[in-house]
Amino acid sequence: MRPQVTVLDAGGQYCHLIARKVRDLGVYAEVAPSETPAAELAGRKGVIISGGPSSVYDPGSPTIDPQLLHAGIPVLGICYGQQLMAHILGGRVEKGDRGEYGFAQLDLLRTDGLFRGITGRQQVWMSHRDAVQDPPPGFDVLGSTSTCTVAAMASAERGLYAVQFHPEVAHTPCGTQILTNFVFGACGCVKDWDPAGQVQAIENQIRAVAKDRNIFFFVSGGVDSTVAYTLCLRALGPERVHGTYVDTGLMRQGETEFVRENFASLGARAFAVEDAAQQFLSALKSAVQPEAKRHIIGEEFVRVQQRILESEHFLDGRWILGQGTIYPDTIESGGSAKADLIKTHHNRVAGIQKLIDDGRIIEPLASFYKDEVRAIGRQLGIAPELLDRHPFPGPGLAIRCLCATLEAPVEKLQEGWLLPVQSVGVQGDSRTYRAVLAIDGFPDSHEESSSLINKMDRINRVVAEVWTSAKLRDMRAVPGFLTAERLGRLRHADAIVRRLTHASGFDHAVWQFPVVLMPLGTPERPDSVVLRPIDSVDGMTASVVRMPKDLLDEIVRELSAIPGIAGVFYDLTNKPPATIEWE
């Protein structure tokens, strides 16, 4: 299909989310490098410039062909895209001393054009450091916030529009209307796209890539690998698709049995379970840093895969490897040309990349997001108990079990307690690895946690203290590694949370519910549990969900009885500035 809208990738973590939002409007969109010549974009009805982690003043920062802004094609700049548009056209962009990450209130000066149908003060989502101070000549300021004078600007007669905030994320409720106004109003697009109608095209792609080769799948039992596996079964037939589930020892309670039973129901004829727990735990015994864990797990997966492939004679050229990779896996791993590395996913480490380079991998869902994958799965008729599962990370419990090598105390601050543990965040489209702030109880609004993070450069996550066996001031970070004992403790806590949230129906109110173990406690109780229920559409952004008090009390009662657990905390941080997983 010929795209009506092209999103120019300036390295933003939400670049493909923009394209997906346009597709959700029923308009086919593609992503292209930001430097794509204007001549190659001729015939597009609209162009959107994404956000990105750079400053327009950085050497080698992403740019666009300046002729695009004079070509008569409507252009929308988002975040860095607004700064770049202003910079090229003679406006003034100023470096910020402190970033703005999270909710902001937008006051509109105009309610036509880009903001048609939108009235009153609007909640928007910011994730930036630099900002436009003076718009280019001929541009009108359309809106501002308390910290951003030029939060939106336009030269409507030239078809040029820009916003500093992110209309593509769920945290900007009016964002869909803004994109609608641009796509259909400014660009004059017509509907031509149905995401759920891609099954036949994907199956044709599978046949074209596989040719006369068979496909060998290492399945996780999650939504992505299940849908990808089912598509390959349909495209090639069960005789040509082999599946193996690798039990890494990092899985949830009862997971292996669940996968074995349910994959049989898909019609898989060649399916096996490989017990590799000892191999993974041995390799991870001294790993502490999140990226080190992910790389070790990825490389161990490659070793297991190689051993199985060799032992089963799958290396004779008649087989290729199938994976359930979806787009957020690649964009957060720096897979987009300009994107900053947020976290390395296990299916994008060097060993897997070599197979990709050798043309021996098929990833039928690599251009889709989680909600689109579920739509495809529903069209395939996959059972809800498989399709509606909460996402679970490929590295398993390893990245939910935080580790430490040194003992360290908590630090009392005016705002709360600075915990001597760190987690991964995404701020201004860049990866951060910073400390966690614990506060006493729950704030009145989510904006409070965002404001604390914006104010404090040392943190990227805020948690509420729910219960502790000792005074928080007396708790310390203690050395802890990925041992069978600590993983068992986390597995027990995760099973409690899953059982109680399912019984109450709360699991249907959230998109994902990571349970995290951090090495914070006392000599007798060395670990604490963090609860992280969130809502999302595709994992690119996420909002905290507050659970009912009676359910939380019941969960805390059971968690506090687990030997070795010293505290229970509740993660209050949206994504961004925190990632969904802690590592």
CA 522 from chain centre, in angstroms, equals 33
pLDDT, greater one: 326 or 524? 524
- What's this model's pTM, rounded to 2 decimal places? 0.71
Residue range 15-63, pLDDT digits in tens = 888 998 999 999 999 899 999 999 999 999 999 999 998 899 999 999 9
Total Cβ atoms within 10 A of residue 278:
10
Q: What is the pLDDT of residue 347?
A: 52
CATH of domain 195-396: 3.40.50.620
Contact of 362 with 354, CB cutoff 8 Å: no
Residue range 274-325, pLDDT digits in tens = 999 999 999 999 999 999 999 999 889 888 877 887 787 776 778 888 989 8
Same fold, 5-186 and 195-396: yes
> Is 148 among the catalytic positions?
no
> Is 346 among the catalytic positions?
no
Domain ranges of the chain: 5-186, 195-396, 400-571
Q: What is the pLDDT of residue 482?
A: 96
Grade residue 13 by pLDDT with cuts at 50, 70 and 90: confident
Lowest mean pLDDT among 69-83, 340-354, 449-463: 340-354
Q: What is the pLDDT of residue 381?
A: 92
Grade residue 337 by pLDDT with cuts at 50, 70 and 90: low
Grade residue 197 by pLDDT with cuts at 50, 70 and 90: confident
Residues 233, 271: Cα–Cα separation, whole Å: 12
> Is 79 among the catalytic positions?
yes
Of 128, 166, 242, 346, the active-site residue reads 166
Tokens 């149905």, residue located: 194
CATH topology of domain 5-186: Rossmann fold (3.40.50)
The helix/strand/coil state of 116 is coil
Grade residue 82 by pLDDT with cuts at 50, 70 and 90: very high
Grade residue 350 by pLDDT with cuts at 50, 70 and 90: low
Residue range 462-480, pLDDT digits in tens = 999 999 999 999 999 999 9
CATH 3.30.420.40 for the 400-571 domain, yes or no: no
Q: What is the pLDDT of residue 494?
A: 98
- Sequence-ordered strand ranges (E) for 185-324: 214-219, 241-247, 270-275, 319-322
Q: What percent of the chain has pLDDT over 70?
A: 94
Of 15, 79, 189, 403, the active-site residue reads 79
Of 100, 168, 300, 332, the active-site residue reads 168
Supply the DSSP string of 18-41, one letter for each residue. HHHHHHHTT--EEEEETT--GGGG
Mean pLDDT of 214-226: 89
